[in-house]
């Protein structure tokens, strides 16, 4: 029986489907949603912007809040509550660093930046990396 599930979230439709899947299929599990900010880019846009903030944790939380608002609404639609956590940096690394604390990871097949060639080149396929390297079972939702 799965009691703790990690659901990485960005602004993509597959990520929303992954959260819905976790909420519907694991009604008794504690669901934690991870949103990673400061993703590396060719010009270090998000990461550089965070580095200039006085309080990195507050800035990261502020940037994640729009995603968490949608997450809480979707959870409420399922009469559920979820925990939220913010990561900074590379999404796959953040997911893999936390995976051992959960029974499984449920994530979308691809993220919001999937169509940007620069993102695929620099960051790679997050879902593929997590599937290959995670120490716990991973469910990919399309």
Domains along the sequence of the chain with CATH: 4-141 (3.40.50.620)
Least confident of 6-15, 79-88, 100-109, 112-121: 112-121
Instruction: Band the pLDDT of 119: cuts 50, 70, 90.
Output: very low
Least confident of 42-56, 93-107, 120-134: 42-56
Read off the tokens for 104: 């499984």
What's the burial of 41, exposed, middle or buried (CB within 10 Å: 0-12/13-18/19+)?
Answer: middle
Q: What is the pLDDT of residue 113?
A: 53
Q: Could you tell me the pTM of the whole model?
A: 0.84
**DSSP character at residue 101:** T
pLDDT (tens digit per residue) in 81-110 = 999 999 988 899 999 999 999 999 999 987
CB 130 within 8 A of CB 93: no
Q: What mean pLDDT do residues 128-137 have?
A: 95
């Amino acid at each position: 029986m799965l009691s703790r599930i990690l659901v990485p979230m960005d602004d993509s439709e597959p990520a929303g489907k992954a959260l819905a899947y976790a909420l519907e299929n694991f009604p008794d599990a504690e669901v934690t949603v991870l949103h990673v900010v400061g993703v590396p880019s060719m010009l270090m846009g998000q990461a550089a912007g965070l580095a200039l903030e006085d309080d990195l944790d507050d800035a990261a939380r502020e940037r994640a809040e729009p995603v968490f608002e949608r997450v809480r609404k979707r959870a409420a639609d399922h009469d559920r509550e979820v925990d939220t956590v913010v990561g900074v940096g590379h999404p796959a690394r953040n997911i893999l660093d936390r995976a051992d604390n959960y029974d499984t990871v449920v994530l979308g097949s691809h993220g919001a930046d999937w169509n940007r060639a620069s993102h695929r080149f620099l960051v790679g396929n997050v879902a593929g990396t997590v599937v290959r390297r995670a120490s716990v079972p991973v469910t990919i939702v399309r």
